[in-house]
Amino acid sequence: MSRLIKKCNDFGAGGVSVAIGELADGLRVDLDKVPKKYAGLDGTELAISESQERMAVVVDPGDVDAFLGYAAEENLEAVAVATVTEEPRLVLNWRGKDIVNLKRAFLDTNGAHQETEVKVEIPDEKENYFKRYALEKVGEQAEAGDIRGAWLTLLDDLNVCSQKGLVEMFDSSIGAASVLMPYGGQYQLTETQAMVAKLPVLKGRTDTVTMMSYGFDPYLSSWSPYHGAIYAVVESMAKIVANGGDYSKIRFTFQEYFRRMTEDPARWSQPFAALLGAYDAQIGFGLPSIGGKDSMSGTFNDIDVPPTLVSFAVDIAKYGDIVTPELKTPGNKLVRFAIEKDDFDIPMYEAVMDLYDAVHQLMQEKAIVSAYALDAKGAAAALAKMAFGNRLGVTVEADVDARELFCNGLGDLLVEMPEEKLALLKEREIAYRLVGTVTAEPVLRAGQTQIALEEALNAWTTRLEKVFPTRAAAGKEPVESREYRTEQVYVCRHKVARPTVFIPVFPGTNCEYDSAKAFERAGADVVTRVFRNQSASDIRESVEVFEQAIGQAQIIMFPGGFSAGDEPDGSAKFFATAFQNARLKEAVTKLLEERDGLALGICNGFQALIKLGLVPYGQILGQKEDSPTLTFNTINRHISKMVYTRVVTNKSPWLQGAELGATYCNPASHGEGRFVAPREWIDRLFANGQVATQYADPQGNVSMDEEYNINGSYAAIEGITSPDGRVLGKMAHSERRDTAVAMNIYGEQDLKIFESGVRYFL
């Protein structure tokens, strides 16, 4: 389908006139054909109204029917609304009349030619951002010799403190391609500075990753928009380098936001200076910006936004190049590389490039095992954040003073190196500063100051806990974990050389590709079909297609996602409603009872199995008043993070490749994953070996600690099976696993669920 598309544009604030109007020089748009959410819109409203979540594509006239056919297969509403014309004019027609008819040459001028005078304001040297502490209180404490107070104050600052409760609201593992999770280390507490993801490929494998980071300091930009833009570029580069990227491959995109312009020449100072700074950095580094977006409307009455130019750096690499930021090994040394600046605090571009290139080479040689790009808050914040992930400690060198710990470090890099590798720095004449040593004891030490890592963590995590909570319950009481071992595992009587898996796709499903790849890697054939519901005939045809697909399959897999948006009746309602259809119910029953088939449901799919009754009953019976169910997480929001689960039964064919009693790590991403059931049901499930997995800590300890039992599930239950084990439902996404995925997470990720399911039929 993608090969048919010649051009593509997303709809935004400009609506039809912009999204379609940008696709070709000559266009004739029929506004009457544009799909509408609301009746009564006139031509002007149709032309310029914001219409998110839509795309406009250009296809060859001969491919229109084929494209519309593919869209229908995917249950997408697609309509031909415009024609590309030879004459370079944009024509919008509504109700038989041309309401817009403009020359492309005029549109390309962006309207009337304008000029203005600019008065550039020079930053005040007395307020030089590079010669003072970024946080005034931290500076006062540091200068007074209160290193402990300064460090804890720094970690508590809004621009330094943990945002984990906010970050966890967004799915960070979809696509099974996230090389770095947002927080890494065994305890998932070292925040990453760059997005790194494998290049998505529909078939085959790839070792290519894309990287993206950003740089911006509003306080620096408020002092000097020129310096602010330069160091936005530098900071975005430094983060890429710290994660293993090659600076020379970087391309930028800038996001700009400034106060509203007037006829006052001084009002133009900020964007003019910022753009000059960004231009200077691009020329200095020889790296271009390939895109961007700007706004000049950041004023409300007499309130202006800070002068804002955010630099996003984009790079490509191999996943073997990637360096994760959490500290690795006690005894390793912590080294700081500082960038050179001129008398005006402008980076010495050639020297910066030489440094970043040297660091990249050291990373290629595995001489650097973790790294962090510093910002204006200095080295102290980076040292703590790097230590949190694996709960290691740091002892700062005796000759490192308070100013070095807390002074501006924009563009500098802090790296962890094995002690024996330090000789490379001397051999290659790379200037460096030895900052400290990694310790096994979880303590931050600087001179006579000692801060227990737990105290530092408390300072770092408390500030936003009431706004973006990470836990709703304080309880951490242990939970009984009863292992069930049996030799009586269900044996398939209908063997096949290569089983077929049917994956139904509903509006809102988003894990079908990950699930299909997991089964294909395991040796199965996979059939996915989309349930179409745009008309009554679509629904009838979909039931027929699903019935036929189930009849030809050995396994049915309900994938994750948000079927029908999970509103208003809760999760997986679309799945459950469709499979209550008599024909589909009969097809599933035959699969399980006559052909020894298997069923698997993950996340939204687990919710579907629960609603249908396939777990815990093994049949489509629906739910009873006392049936186990899945409800809202105790924290009452979506949670996306890696979870550890302990395997507590070997009864299920799905778990034959997993080790009973072992702990595995998989991503979770859900808002309604809390397993709830009466005590009688929980006891019955354990007694019958139907509790498949329980949430646990990395060591396999099961409890109600919400850090690990992330949704507050009763008895910490993460997955259950049907009575004979052939139907398995679980919340954590075992399908979101692949080579180099979640590299900064510790623990075995492969439960071998998919391999076990395939092997059952062989």
- What positions carry a catalytic annotation? 603, 733, 735
The residues, any chain, with a CB within 8 Å of residue 437's CB and separated by 6 or more, are 331, 332, 333, 334, 394, 395, 397
Dihedral of alpha carbons 748, 752, 702, 672, sign: positive
* Residues 733, 558: Cα–Cα separation, whole Å: 12
* Residues 100, 91: Cα–Cα separation, whole Å: 5
- DSSP state for residue 259 in the 8-state scheme: P
Measuring CA to CA, how many Å separate 34 from each of 59, 623, 685?
Answer: 17, 43, 54
| E-strand stretches of 548-628 | 555-558, 598-602
Amino acid at 514: D
Whether the CB-CB separation of 597 and 553 falls below 8 Å is answered with: yes
Task: State the CB neighbour count (10 A cutoff) for residue 449.
Answer: 17
Amino acid at 57: V
| E-strand stretches of 327-475 | 333-337, 370-373, 393-396, 413-417, 433-439, 443-446, 449-452
Q: What are phi and psi of 414, to 5 degrees?
A: -110, 125
The residues, any chain, with a CB within 8 Å of residue 379's CB and separated by 6 or more, are 336, 404, 405, 406, 409, 412, 414, 435
- 10 Å CB burial of residue 15 (0-12, 13-18, 19+) is buried
What length does the chain have? 762
Query: Which H, E and C letters describe 505-542, residue by residue?
Result: ECCCECCHHHHHHHHHHHCCEEEEEECCCCCHHHHHHH
